[in-house]
Amino acid sequence: MSILIAGGGIGGLAAALSLHAAGLHELQVLEAASEIRQIGVGVNLPPHAVRELTELGLGEALAQHGIPTSELSYYDRRGKLIWAEPRGLGAGYRWPQYSIHRGRLQQILFDAVVARMGEAVVRTGQRVSGFAPMPAGARVQVTDRSGASPATERTIDADVLIGADGIRSAVRQSADPALGALATNGWMMYRGTTRSGPFLSGSSMVIIGDEHLRVVVYPIEPGVNNWLLVRPGAGAGDELGNWNRSVEPQAIAQCVQDWTFDWLDVPALVAGSDIAWEYPMADFDPLSQWVFGRAALLGDAAHAMYPFGSNGASQAILDARVLAWQLATQPDIDAALAAYQTERLPVASAVQLANRRQANDVMAKVSAMVRQDAQAGAQAELKEVEARYKRLAGFDAETLNARASWSVGGR
């Protein structure tokens, strides 16, 4: 079975590792970028994602390069604690939760792919621009920008095409141009990393603010803290789906100039970044299908979501594991792709919608309670929201700890 993966990001590389581990070795990953580089900022990996990466043999690398998140805490704009809960091993999971630089995670995956399959399996400068269905496969259009000469066009035939090519997926658009129209809730998101000392436990993840302005902070390596600031209005009509626009951190720090607490100096943290990135918050409505003949969507191409709940990258990793399991264990390719869609689409779609609620309704409700000094009500609401979200996203401790492995052979 020949499998072509469009996209060498977290989802695409996780798919390559999962397929190889499942015994499917005729693989090719095509990445549009000219090289695999450690770019981006932080990402959180809850225990359900860590389980899958551990079963792929990456547990030691995660432990070496990530920070095991010990708690999640919500604070109001005054820096007063609303509610906190343990995370990872401290919450009864068999696997930790990690915070890690996104580029470092991608490098871990890439290094594992090369070590297990050889350097030739990942080809850079190769942008998948579309595909045409065939009776028993897909004919994939590829723009080759790897050489010094002008880009060239070619086609590759594969039994299966996996579209892991991001929020503006060419595979999705080729399947149906009406799918995945990007929309925004009107919020602008700013991200950065800063070299600074530890705060609280040294492995805490905090969410500070209300429905008008929020900051999320967590360490991603010793001496480096990741921050995310979101606010409504500014630039909401700008280009959606573009992560690569820089902004001066000092200007963003003005948004939180009064948020200096005895446990964290938020304006100093934001202003201390060498560079920050702005991104109009965007997602798209849940899709009605992910599989189009022998082409299947995965990760952001299938279910781009707001960055609340620490589940964007995690759901892509789960997609990869389930898709590999189905392709290795079902009687034929079409049955496998159908089973993958049946198992993963409802879950990821529900997470998309839950992330929208967390970004909007949940914070408004909790913040209103805080302003009314209804601390117990705010705590109860957050506790219930987090518990419901874990069940929905597939990482409540009891279910995750007991679930059968997606490793072929049950490793």
Between 304 and 239, whose confidence is greater? 304
**Buried b or exposed e, range 20-38, using 16+ CB within 10 angstroms:** bbbebeebbbbbbeeebee
Asked whether residue 126 is assigned to any structural domain, the reply reads yes
Please check whether residue 233 is in contact with residue 188, taking contact to mean a CB–CB distance below 8 angstroms.
yes
Domain-embedded: residue 67 = yes
* 316: CB partners within 8 A, 6+ apart: 10, 11, 14, 164, 298, 299, 300
Domain count, the chain: 1
Does the pLDDT at position 237 exceed 60? no
- CATH of residue 314: 3.50.50.60
Q: Is the pTM of this model over 0.75?
A: yes
pLDDT at position 238 = 59
Q: What is the pLDDT of residues 97-133, one digit of tens each?
A: 999 999 999 999 999 999 999 999 999 999 999 999 9
Expressed as residue numbers, the domain containing 48 is 3-181+285-402
**59 domain residue, yes or no:** yes
Question: Would you state the structure tokens that stand for residue 367, as one six-digit string?
Answer: 């913040």
What's the DSSP call for residue 26?
A: -
Note whether residue 238 is domain-resident. Answer: no
The whole-angstrom separation of Cα 248 and Cα 93 is 39
Q: Is the pLDDT of residue 235 over 60?
A: no
CB 318 within 8 A of CB 344: yes
Residue 224 counted as domain residue:
no
Does residue 317 form part of some domain?
A: yes
Residue 241 has pLDDT above 70, yes or no: no
pLDDT at 410 over 70: no
C-alpha dihedral over 331, 332, 333, 337, to 10 degrees? -50
Structure tokens at 76: 């109001």
**Average pLDDT over every residue of 294-319:** 94
- Cα separation of the two ends of the chain: 23
Q: For 53-67, write each residue's pLDDT tens digit.
A: 999 999 999 999 999
Q: Is the pLDDT of residue 344 over 90?
A: yes
Domain contains 217? no
Q: What is the mean pLDDT of the chain?
A: 93
Give the SS3 label for residue 195: strand
Residue 46 domain flag: yes
User: With 70 as the cut, is the pLDDT of residue 234 above it?
Assistant: no
Cβ 152 vs Cβ 144: under 8 Å:
yes
| Per-residue confidence band for 185, with pLDDT thresholds at 50, 70 and 90 | confident
- 239-250: buried (b, 16+ CB within 10 Å) or exposed (e) per residue? ebbeeeeebebe
Instruction: Among 225-239, 370-384, 392-406, name the one with the lowest average pLDDT.
Output: 225-239
Residues paired with residue 137 on neighbouring β-strands, in sequence order: 134
At residue 411 the predicted structure's pLDDT band, cuts being 50, 70 and 90, is very low
* pLDDT-based confidence at residue 148 (cuts at 50, 70, 90): low
Confidence of residue 34 (pLDDT cuts 50, 70, 90): confident
Contacts 24+ apart (CB under 8 A), 348-352: 348/286, 348/302, 348/303, 348/305, 348/315, 348/319, 349/286, 349/287, 349/303, 350/392, 350/393, 351/303, 351/305, 351/309, 351/311, 351/315, 351/392, 351/393, 352/283, 352/286, 352/303, 352/304, 352/305
